[in-house]
Amino acid sequence: MNTPITLQYNINAPIEKVWEGLTNKDEMKFWYFDIQDFELEVGRIFNFYEPGGENKYHHQGEILEIIPLQKLKHTWTYPDFSEQKTTVIWELQSMDNGALVKLTHEDIENFKDLGEGFSRENFTGGWNSIVGQSLKGYLEK
């Protein structure tokens, strides 16, 4: 069964501010990851490690689709551990009180053989923390 991880959060901030937070590497480092080679362009590959300086997990993504103020779609891989790819989709919708952020992480089962650190439960918890606490807290301050 290949069920994506999907979550939604209302963020009390203008959609333009949310988009900037999601797509500007100088903003991302305050709530997400420090992705120094991120450029908002289809086909661009970006790399980053988890915060804390351990550099245990090399993350790599490739931007697949951009619809300004609406959608950012990119791959999510761990090239040091697997050739398997997953897809992360960020979708925005303007609301009366800000923006609705929907995150979908597809094909998470592709990482099932990599161990507990790559489990569906770990990703679900991680995304809820990243979007529901870090992003929301950063943009609503």
pLDDT tens for each residue of 65-82: 999 999 999 999 999 999
pLDDT tens for each residue of 107-117: 999 999 999 88
Q: Are 91 and 67 in contact (CB under 8 A)?
A: no
First-to-last CA distance in the chain? 39
pTM for the full model?
A: 0.95
Residue 136 vs residues 19, 53, 116, 133: alpha-carbon distances, Å: 12, 24, 27, 5
